[in-house]
C-alpha cells in the first residue's frame, strides 16, 4: 500500500491502515490541528468570530452568560409562568401541590424540628444513626418517613408528630412507598388508627373467583 502522507510503499497489516508509520500519522494529526477553523456567527450577538473548537457557539464568555440570562428570563416571564400554575403544574394533585419547596410553612417547620429531635435522641441513646426497619448503618443517607402518608392526611394536626415518623435508609424508604402492607405492624404497635382513623388500614384487593 502507499502511505497517505509520504507516499512510501509499505506492507500493511490491515486494509484499514493508511500510514506507513506512527510518525506519519502524528504529522497528519498536527497539520489538521494547525489549520485555522472556519469563522462562525455568535449565537447571542451575531458577530463573526473564529472559534477555538468546533463546539464554540459564542464569541466570548460574556455572550455565553448573557445568553443563559435571557433563557431564564424567557422561562420565567409572566406568560411562561402562567402555563405552570395550578393544574398545569406537574406537582398539582387534587386541589393542592404535592411538592413544595416552601420550608417556611408551618407543617414543614414542625416536621423538620421533630426529625432533628428524633435523630439527636437516637445519637444520644445509641451513638449512631440506623434504619429502624432493617437496622443497617451502611447507607448514603437516612430519610425520615411518614408512616401515614402526607398525601393521605394532608391537613391532619398530628401528621408530623414523632409517633408518625420513622428513620429509614433509602432502600427501605422506597420499599415503604411501594406497598402499604409494610406499615401494618407499625400502625398496630403505635395505635395510629386511634389518631388517624380506620381508613389507613391496608385493604386487600377483592379476588374474583369466576
Q: What residues in the chain have per-residue pLDDT under 70?
A: 33-37, 73-77, 81, 83-105, 203-210
The rounded distance, in Å, linking the Cα atoms of 171 and 195 is 28
What is the pTM (predicted TM-score) of this model?
0.49
What pLDDT score was predicted for residue 104? 47
| pLDDT tens by residue, 142-190 | 999 999 998 888 889 999 999 999 999 999 999 998 888 889 999 999 9
The rounded distance, in Å, linking the Cα atoms of 51 and 33 is 13
What pLDDT score was predicted for residue 155? 85
**Secondary structure element (H or E) that encloses residue 72, with its range:** helix 61-75
What pLDDT score was predicted for residue 89? 67
Q: Which of 147, 123, 148 is nearest to 137 (CA)?
A: 123
- List the chain domain ranges: 1-35, 41-83, 103-200
What pLDDT score was predicted for residue 34? 67
The rounded distance, in Å, linking the Cα atoms of 184 and 189 is 9
Residues constituting the chain: 210
Amino acid at each position: 500500500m502507499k502511505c497517505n502522507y509520504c507516499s512510501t510503499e509499505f506492507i500493511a497489516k490491515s486494509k484499514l491502515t493508511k500510514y506507513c508509520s506512527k510518525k506519519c500519522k502524528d504529522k497528519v494529526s498536527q497539520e489538521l490541528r494547525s489549520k485555522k477553523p472556519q469563522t462562525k456567527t455568535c449565537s447571542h450577538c451575531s458577530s463573526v468570530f473564529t472559534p477555538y473548537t468546533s463546539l464554540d457557539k459564542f464569541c466570548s464568555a460574556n455572550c455565553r452568560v448573557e445568553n443563559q440570562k435571557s433563557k431564564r428570563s424567557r422561562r420565567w416571564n409572566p406568560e411562561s409562568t402562567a402555563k405552570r400554575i395550578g393544574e398545569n403544574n406537574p406537582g398539582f394533585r387534587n386541589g393542592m401541590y404535592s411538592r413544595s419547596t416552601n420550608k417556611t410553612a408551618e407543617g414543614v417547620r414542625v416536621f423538620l424540628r421533630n426529625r432533628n429531635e428524633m435523630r439527636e435522641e437516637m445519637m444520644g441513646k445509641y451513638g449512631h444513626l440506623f434504619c429502624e426497619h432493617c437496622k443497617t448503618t451502611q447507607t448514603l443517607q437516612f430519610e425520615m418517613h411518614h408512616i401515614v402518608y402526607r398525601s393521605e392526611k394532608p391537613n391532619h394536626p398530628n401528621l408530623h408528630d414523632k409517633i408518625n415518623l420513622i428513620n429509614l435508609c433509602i432502600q427501605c424508604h422506597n420499599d415503604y412507598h411501594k406497598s402499604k402492607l409494610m406499615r401494618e405492624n407499625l400502625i398496630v404497635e403505635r395505635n395510629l388508627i386511634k389518631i388517624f382513623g380506620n381508613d389507613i388500614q391496608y385493604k386487600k384487593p377483592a379476588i374474583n373467583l369466576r
